[in-house]
């Protein structure tokens, strides 16, 4: 990824799970990294690289602020990960449209005016809905079943339109079940790991849903390749392994890796309304166009994730310096407070 060294890049949603991993990797690659975040954003996941990125307090819903900041930065590559509704998929439709559709349009138009060389947009596997149940490649069969997915599908339509009509070099990344260190509150893996490490039984659904779990480091690699690979303009690319595991399998494996004395309470909770039972990526487009495929096994990825959380618990108990293998660990306790103690803010932005 030496092509990104010295390049001006902009990351929205950089204070979130995937965004913080991406920003950190871009810094390591030698890119000149700018980030958009709101004044109220929690910056803990970026704590170790904040002094090496240019922070711009910009709300993507503010068209004028987006335009002026983009004109000042003149980014060559934009990675757009800011969104609302990932952890609350039935968010109010007007809010989802304002952030996920209009916010994306503000960025697209500013990118067009600035002559951005690549605009990498973040989509979601939930855009496919039940179309992803088919074993055959689902291509562009979209059937979103919640507000978040519908808004992301609409945003993707504008992303493609800007490529076809205005010549803006866009690419859309459809993310499957991304997991790893620093995953946000209210997500399955974060909640299950914390329960396992605290020896608390974990209420869950019957767990028959099948998801394509992909490790965050692999996803970041896919984003970087999408930023520099020619011939992908206007294309949507699945980022997943091409294999699905049941939720029950993943939670059970997490508890085993953690060596927990507690257990998953399978079937204690009902399925969500309109639950999509199977989501599996079509990995061939990413392989053919980007030369990318996920390389982290599920067991290895889950073990890295458990180790990250365990390190944070050990540090809290022993008051020892954080092991440098887990660069996010200074933020673990704030994250854990979010998971278990802080009330959920109404209409708070999520960051991929």
Q: What's phi and psi for 214, nearest 5 deg?
A: -130, 135
Report DSSP letters for 47-70, one per residue.
TTTGGGSEEEE--TT-HHHHHHHH
DSSP-based helix, strand, coil % in the chain, nearest 5? 45, 15, 40
3-state secondary structure of 153: helix
- Other C-beta atoms closer than 10 Å to the C-beta of 243 total 14
Q: What's phi and psi for 199, nearest 5 deg?
A: 55, 45
The string over 259-272, giving b where at least 16 C-beta atoms fall within 10 Å of a residue's C-beta and e elsewhere, is ebeeebebeeeeee
List 126, 148, 223, 309, catalytic entry: 148
Torsion (CA) 223, 228, 233, 239 in degrees, nearest 10: -20
Q: Give yes or no: 309 in active site.
A: no
The count of residues in the chain is 352
3-state secondary structure of 103: helix
Phi-psi label, residue 193: left if phi above 0, alpha if psi -120 to 50, beta otherwise = alpha
Q: Extract the tokens encoding 9.
A: 């890049």
Catalytic residues: 148
């Amino acid at each position: 990824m030496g092509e990104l060294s010295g390049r001006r890049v902009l990351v929205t949603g950089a204070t979130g799970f995937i965004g913080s991993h991406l920003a950190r990797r871009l810094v390591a690659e030698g890119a000149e990294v700018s980030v958009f975040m709101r004044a109220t954003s929690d910056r803990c996941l970026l704590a170790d690289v904040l002094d090496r990125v240019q922070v711009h307090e910009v709300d993507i819903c503010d068209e004028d602020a987006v335009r002026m900041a983009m004109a000042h930065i003149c980014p060559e590559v934009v990675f757009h990960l800011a969104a609302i509704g990932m952890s609350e998929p039935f968010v109010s439709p007007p809010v989802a449209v304002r952030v996920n559709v209009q916010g994306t349009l503000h960025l697209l138009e500013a990118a067009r005016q600035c002559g951005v060389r690549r605009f990498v947009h973040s989509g979601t596997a939930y855009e496919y809905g039940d179309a992803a149940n088919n074993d055959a490649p689902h291509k562009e069969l979209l059937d979103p079943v919640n507000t978040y997915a519908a808004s992301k599908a609409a945003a993707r339509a504008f992303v493609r339109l800007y490529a076809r009509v205005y010549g803006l070099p866009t690419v859309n990344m459809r993310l499957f079940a991304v997991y790893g260190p620093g995953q946000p509150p209210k997500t399955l893996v974060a909640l299950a790991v914390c329960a396992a490490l605290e020896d608390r039984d974990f209420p869950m659904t019957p767990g028959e849903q099948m998801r394509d779990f992909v490790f965050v480091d692999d996803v970041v690699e896919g984003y970087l390749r999408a930023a520099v690979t020619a011939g992908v303009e206007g294309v949507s690319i699945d980022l997943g392994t091409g294999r699905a595991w049941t939720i029950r399998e993943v939670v059970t494996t997490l508890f085993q890796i953690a060596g927990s004395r507690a257990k998953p309470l399978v079937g204690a909770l009902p399925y969500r309304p309109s639950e999509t039972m199977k989501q599996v990526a079509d990995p061939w487009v990413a392989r053919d166009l980007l030369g990318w495929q996920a390389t982290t096994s599920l067991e290895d990825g889950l073990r890295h994730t458990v180790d990250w959380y365990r390190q944070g618990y050990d540090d809290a108990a022993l008051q020892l310096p954080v092991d440098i293998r887990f660069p996010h660990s200074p933020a673990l306790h704030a994250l854990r407070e979010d998971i278990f103690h802080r009330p959920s803010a109404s209409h708070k932005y999520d960051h991929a």
